[in-house]
Amino acid sequence: MHPTIGEALSPRPRSAAADGPRTGNALNFVRLLLAATVLVSHSFITAPDPDPTGGRLEAAGDLAVNGFFVISGYLIAGSRLRTSFGGYLWRRVLRIFPAFWVVLILVAFVFSPLYARIAGEHWVPESALGFVTQNAALALAHPAIAHTLVSAPYSMDWNIPLWTLSYEFTAYLLLGIVMLIPFVRRHLRAVFTAGLIALVLAQPIAYRVLGTWEHRLLTLHALRLFSFFAAGVVAYCFRDRIRLYPTLGVAAGLLTVGLHLLNRPNWYHLPLTYFLLWLGASLPIRLGTRNDISYGIYIYAFPMQRFVHLWLGPAGGWIGQSLLAFAMTVPWAYASWRLVEAPALRLVRLRLRPARTVRE
């Protein structure tokens, strides 16, 4: 008999005194693959090569970000049901903010002045300080640092991937608040299924109704990312009903890729969700269970890609530059996990029982 999602992705039983990472699935490795996909997609911003697939490979970054939100929705729904609102929110703050603040400080006072020195640019300390203070609440109001990246592509933003974190934390917050409502807790499946349908249907309506492109873009980003988060929540609600079959898993993956190539993201919520959860349950790889560097890869890759482009120029192409950037990013991601993220997660003890060091 094929297992349900809940059976396949449950952590292995542990003693009450144990305080190790979850080892029962490959979701951390799947997130690492998604982070690497985002890195590759951004190579077409920092490297000079055109996308050989006519933009579809570059757009794979959007597909990967959608996947991040799916997995987050699945894991965070379980976290919210197991904890009080205060404890849940404390855990979410510890998971997102400490590593985010550290990367802001490093970009402002290590990476950008070093880049400016190598490139012969002028680094402005006041602008670097504003990069930290004005972005500290996740909303990237100050994405550039004055007089740096002058000749670099996409010079108005030092670390492009960070824009999604405000949407991710907002999704956490909304889920936490909604689950305070007794009616919602009694009717989880119906409420979140209806919410997913509403978010998907709202996107084409918003595109037609909203006037300015800026307002339209911000609203569509929110609706898109929240809808994939909701798909993960719905999967959690039905985790004991949905069985994982290898044939369906492969078919869901192929369907997702096909719809992505056809530029139909609003059609692949369910295939993408099934495919990622099936991968997480089926892959025998446990890379990332003890040292989950996926978040670190996500937040450090783009600054490293800046340096790769600065040093190599057009050499190496998008493949070579992606590989070098990944190799440069891994040490920073590992240090982020060991020195910032895992220690921060241990502070959950201040509110909850000992935390498992896994990115929920």
- Residues 264-294 have pLDDT tens digits of 888 999 999 999 999 999 999 888 888 999 9
Which band of pLDDT confidence, cut at 50, 70 and 90, is reported for residue 24? confident
What are the φ and ψ backbone dihedral angles of 288, each rounded to 5 degrees?
Answer: 100, -5
What average pLDDT score do residues 344-353 get?
Answer: 76
Distances (CA, A) of 271 to 12, 25, 182, 266, 278: 27, 19, 30, 11, 10
Region of poorest pLDDT, from 131-135, 231-235, 260-264 = 260-264
Q: How much is the average pLDDT of 125-144?
A: 96
Residues 304-326 have a mean pLDDT of 90
DSSP classification of residue 110: I
- Domain borders along the chain are 23-350
pLDDT grade for 149, boundaries at 50, 70 and 90? very high
To 10 degrees, the CA torsion angle through 208, 225, 329, 24?
-160
pLDDT of residue 336: 98
pLDDT at 30 over 50: yes
Pick from 6-10, 50-54, 79-83, 260-264: least confident: 50-54
Nearest to 171 by CA among 265, 83, 96, 62: 96
Distance between start and end Cα atoms, the chain: 28
Q: Residues 116, 128: contact at Cβ < 8 Å?
A: no
Alpha-carbon distances of 149 from 1, 105, 155, 352, rounded to whole Å: 56, 17, 5, 44
* pLDDT number for residue 67: 98
Residues of the chain with pLDDT > 90, as a percent, come to 75
pTM of the model: 0.92
pLDDT digits (tens, 9 = 90+) for 162-209: 999 999 999 999 999 999 999 999 999 999 999 999 999 999 888 888
Rounded Cα distance between 277 and 6, Å, is: 10
Q: What is the mean pLDDT of residues 222-245?
A: 97
pLDDT: which is higher, 297 or 11:
297
For residue 116, pLDDT over 80 is answered with: yes
| DSSP per position, 193-221 | HHHHHHHHHHHHHHHHH--SHHHHHHHHH
- 246 has pLDDT over 90: yes
Residues 71-108: pLDDT tens digits?
A: 999 999 999 999 999 999 999 999 999 999 999 999 99
Scan for tokens 């729904």, then name that residue: 77
| Residue 335 pLDDT grade (very low, low, confident, very high; cuts 50, 70, 90) | very high
Q: Are 325 and 43 in contact (CB under 8 A)?
A: yes
Over range 138-163, report the average pLDDT: 92
pLDDT reported for residue 355: 41
Tell me how crowded residue 165 is: count the other CB atoms within 10 A of its CB: 20
Q: Is the dihedral of CA 175, 180, 181, 187 positive or negative?
A: positive
Mean pLDDT of the chain: 90
pLDDT of 18 reads 33
Q: Is the pLDDT of residue 11 over 70?
A: no
pLDDT(345) > 90 = yes
